[in-house]
Amino acid sequence: MNTEEINDLVEHQLSIWSEARKNFDALTLIGRKQLKIGDLGAIAQHNPARIRSTGAKTDAESIRKRECFLCAGNRPSEQISYEWLPGWELLVNPYPILPIHFTIVDKQHRPQDAIPLDMALMAEKAPDLAIFFNGARAGASAPDHRHCQAVLKSELPLLRLTERYHTQSLPSIISSEKFGLDLPFNFISAIITPDKEGMILLSLVTKIKGEDSLTGEADPGLVNAFFWMDSNGLLRIIVIPRRAHRPKCFYAEDETAMTVSPGALDMAGLMILPIERDYERINPDLARKIYEEVAFAGPFPEKIILA
């Protein structure tokens, strides 16, 4: 699937779905500002339509009480399901963060589990896209229905930075600590070669876990992952082990409160702020603090990498 086919697909969907069209058109008007956090050139985006996801109640009780919006029977009648890989449906996200923004949904209603290996096939099938995954406790607003998402890979600052600093002369799997950069959090970067070693590495990388900062327990649901094809035609993977689902300011009841709930795109350098006041207040220091609270600013605990 090349860029032209992707654009045609989105255009076709928007031509018959006025509600989604409205949200896509609104994207061109929303506020964006640079957030230079050390060596990460991040961007803050004021996106009011995302409040439904950022503020979503994802506790077990709330999830049980609502209808699953990813199940085919509960989707708006205008939403087209495109043939994708076996077992997966490709949907245009009606609440986009970027002009190309897909949700890739498991045909079966089953919980968000480990990082899906199929993401490797998706990245190969659409080399202009970055396929990304929010673990059940790392930004997924539907933790009860397995899904991933996709945007144009060129839009994501963290992926560009990784391609630049994780060169092929380095080991095929490394921690971003080895980049020697000032980053607000660390992550694991892997280059997957199309051979047996690559397959072993792929299996290893998808088992990386996060660690709950409250309990100290390793948790496979506390990760974000990105899969994409690089300019050399090799599969790249980033896994971001997390310490928490949301930062302290999300729960604060005083003037420090901010409605920010980082998922994969926020971690990739697009911090989404649905509330205007928060967007105006956000600055590199606050953004760094948010990243530090939900991910690992220092070295990783051994057990989350090899457990």
Binding residues for Zn ion, rule: CB under 5 A, are 68, 70-71, 109, 145
Nearer to Zn ion, 51 or 71 (CB): 71
Nearer to Zn ion, 45 or 149 (CB): 149
Residue nearest to Zn ion (CB): 68
Task: Pick the closest to residue 300 from 213, 231, 233, 214 (CA basis).
Answer: 213
User: Residue 161 forms beta bridges with which residues?
Assistant: none
Nearer to Zn ion, 52 or 303 (CB): 52
Nearest approach, Cβ of residue 103 and Zn ion (Å): 12
Nearer to Zn ion, 47 or 112 (CB): 112
Nearer to Zn ion, 71 or 218 (CB): 71
Nearest approach, Cβ of residue 203 and Zn ion (Å): 27
Nearest approach, Cβ of residue 145 and Zn ion (Å): 3
